[in-house]
């Protein structure tokens, strides 16, 4: 938050690599987040998604997995086919298909090597690398 408004960009530290990853919060996401913060109560210094056991701690990754499982089931999909990691991969694939910008996807995922992003997306290596060399962000 800045001046009572949710910022358009945020940075998180990746747990696996301890590297910072910057991302954009679009208007709809900011509006939803503001609604949630008002409903959640507390202060801006509190965790956005507090633990249900200890409000001084953040939501655990296991609880997040349970929530995703519940959401998937609620919309009638098979839990075995959708999870936290598949959502991450799907978002990256959508961005790549919409923009063709492999370098942007690499940065968003926090990958050190573009080859890792290519493998992660499951796309043709030569085509992706040629496209990435011609694309700027």
Model confidence, pTM? 0.64
1 to each of 19, 22, 28, 83, 104, how far by Cα in Å? Answer: 22, 15, 16, 29, 25
Q: Does residue 120 lie within any of the structural domains?
A: yes
Q: Is residue 24 situated within a structural domain?
A: yes
Total count of domains within the chain: 2
Kindly report the backbone phi and psi dihedral angles of residue 15, in degrees, each rounded to the nearest multiple of 5, phi listed first.
Answer: -65, -40
Find the Cα–Cα–Cα–Cα dihedral 46, 47, 53, 59, rounded to 10°: 180
Residue 75 lies in a domain: no
* Segments forming the whole domain that contains residue 30: 1-43
Instruction: Assess contact for 14 and 110: CB atoms under 8 A.
Output: yes
For residue 127, what are the contacts with CB-CB under 8 A and spacing of at least 6?
A: none
87 with 136, same domain? yes
- pLDDT-above-70 percentage for the chain: 91
Has residue 28 got a pLDDT over 90? yes
- Same domain, yes or no: 88 and 136: yes
Please report whether residue 66 resides in a domain. Answer: no
Q: What is the pLDDT of residues 74-117, one digit of tens each?
A: 999 988 888 888 888 888 888 888 888 888 898 888 888 888 89
**Are 85 and 34 found together in one domain?**
no
Question: In this predicted model, what pLDDT tens digit does every residue of 76-86 receive, in sequence order?
Answer: 998 888 888 88
């Amino acid at each position: 938050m800045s001046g009572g408004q949710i910022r358009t960009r945020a940075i998180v530290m990746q747990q696996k690599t301890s590297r910072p990853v910057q991302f954009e919060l679009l208007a709809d996401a900011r509006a939803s987040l503001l609604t949630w913060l008002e409903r959640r109560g507390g202060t801006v210094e509190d965790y956005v998604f507090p633990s249900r056991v200890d409000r001084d701690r953040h939501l655990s990754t296991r609880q997040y997995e349970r929530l995703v499982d519940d959401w998937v089931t609620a919309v009638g999909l098979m839990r075995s086919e959708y999870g936290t990691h598949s959502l991450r991969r799907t978002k990256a694939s959508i961005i790549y298909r919409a923009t063709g910008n492999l370098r942007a996807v690499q940065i968003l995922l926090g990958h050190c090597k573009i080859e890792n992003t290519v493998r992660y997306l499951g796309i043709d290596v030569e085509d992706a690398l040629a496209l990435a060399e011609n694309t700027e962000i």
